[in-house]
A and B are shown apart, each in its own frame.
Chain A
Amino acid sequence: MSAASIVEVVLIGFGVAVELACCVGVLVMEDAYDKLHYLGPAAIVGPFAIAVAVVVREALSQAGIKALLTAALLIVASPVLSHATARALYIRQRDHVESTSRRPG
């Protein structure tokens, strides 16, 4: 097994572990505001690790560039989606569409 293969396996393992941990975080955290935090590492760290693994294997070929572009898109989208979802929940609670014992503000 070459050094590059070992790096690929480590990056894939790390990326998959981060994703699964974030899925567990989304499951076990109590309310939507707390669950939303775990989208961050899932959309930033995991895709970055996998994209780097693709680049290690394919160099900056079309595959490597597309993997990096996909990861970049997920990274940029993550804070946008977090804010939009949190704001939707805040407005629903403010307008009494959704009740919670832990309203922010």
Chain B
Amino acid sequence: MNAWLIGATVLVLGLVPCAVVMLRGSVVEALVGLQMAGVLQTIVLLLLAEGFHRPPFFDLALVLALLALAGGLVFARMLERWV
């Protein structure tokens, strides 16, 4: 166990408030929770990549950051008028 893995483990706990917001809030508040969860998980992947010394996890973090941006924009656009 090293500081990176401890940090990743602690950060995963941050998903709990995000889940509460997504389950209890309005649909737009749920989107905010989802975006926060996306940021958290990107950072968790960075920490795991360094903690396990697995360079491919850095690629996962980069792709997740990109997809979270695209997905967030798609959801926001949909919520304007269609949901």
Residues of A near any B CB (own CB < 8 A)? 8-9, 12-13, 15-16, 19-20, 22-24, 26-27, 31-32, 35-36, 38-39, 42-43, 46-47, 50-51, 53-54, 57-58, 62-63, 66-67, 69-70, 73-74, 77, 80-81, 84-85, 87-89, 91-92, 95, 97-98
Given A23-B40, A39-B39, CB of A89 within 8 Å of CB of B49: no
A-B contact count (CB 8 A): 145
What 10 pairs across the A-B complex have the smallest Cβ distances?
A84-B76, A66-B58, A27-B17, A77-B69, A23-B14, A88-B79, A23-B17, A88-B76, A73-B65, A12-B7
**Which one of B13, B40, B77 has the greatest number of beta carbons of chain A within 10 Å?**
B40
CB pair B39 A54 closer than 8 Å: no
**Interface 0/1 of B27-55, CB less than 8 Å to A:** 11101110110011011001101100001
CB pair A74 B28 closer than 8 Å: no
B75: shortest Cβ distance to chain A, in Å? 8
Closest to A18 in B: B43
CB pair B55 A63 closer than 8 Å: yes
User: In the complex the two chains form, what is the Cα distance from A50 to B43 in whole Å?
Assistant: 7
CB pair B50 A77 closer than 8 Å: no
B39: shortest Cβ distance to chain A, in Å? 5
B9: shortest Cβ distance to chain A, in Å? 10
Contacts of A54 in B (CB 8 A): 46, 50
Closest to B32 in A: A35
Contacts of A27 in B (CB 8 A): 17, 20-21
Closest to A57 in B: B50
Contacts of A85 in B (CB 8 A): 28, 31-32, 35, 72, 76
Closest to A21 in B: B14
